[in-house]
Amino acid sequence: MATTATGRPPFEAIYPAPPPQTTTYATLFNSITINPKQSALINSKTIVKSIEIIHGEPTITFSMEERQDFMIEEGLHQAVVFKLSHGAPDLKVLRSILPKHLGTKGNCLIGLLAPRQILLRFDLYEDYVLALSRSVNYLLYK
């Protein structure tokens, strides 16, 4: 910093600070940048499907591509539904037994669909194929 002969710094103009800007929802929404792929997904969610009457029942039909997109979007492209026999252990026990029984290497999410059906979602494709390749699964419990 340069000083004058008196040892004081030269005069500097001090400007008042600008007033704080109020942030609104609209400014936040406009400032978010969305890539084209995300905007296509957002736009695709708002399309309303037409309802057809088939055999007296209101029906909405989806193409195979739409089904595949939905499965990937919901994380169901590597999911298996298991049917349980009467007297199967409760869900807490199944969550600890099944990954060991199937020999999964990745994460395995287990949820209850119905009283005798569970949904298994696998992170790794290898675990998904391994679970599907078994024709029958018997659990030795207790």
CATH value at residue 136 = 3.30.70
**Whether 67 and 84 share a structural domain:** no
| pLDDT tens digit sequence for 71-97 | 787 777 788 888 888 888 888 998 988
pTM above 0.85, yes or no: no
Number of domains in the chain: 2
**Whether 140 and 83 share a structural domain:** yes
Spatial CA neighbour of 80 closest among 140, 141, 124, 139: 124
d(CA 137, CA 78): 18
**Whether 55 and 93 share a structural domain:** no
**Whether 121 and 138 share a structural domain:** yes
* Domain that residue 92 falls in: 78-142
**Whether 87 and 130 share a structural domain:** yes
Answer with the residue of higher pLDDT: 16 or 2.
Answer: 16
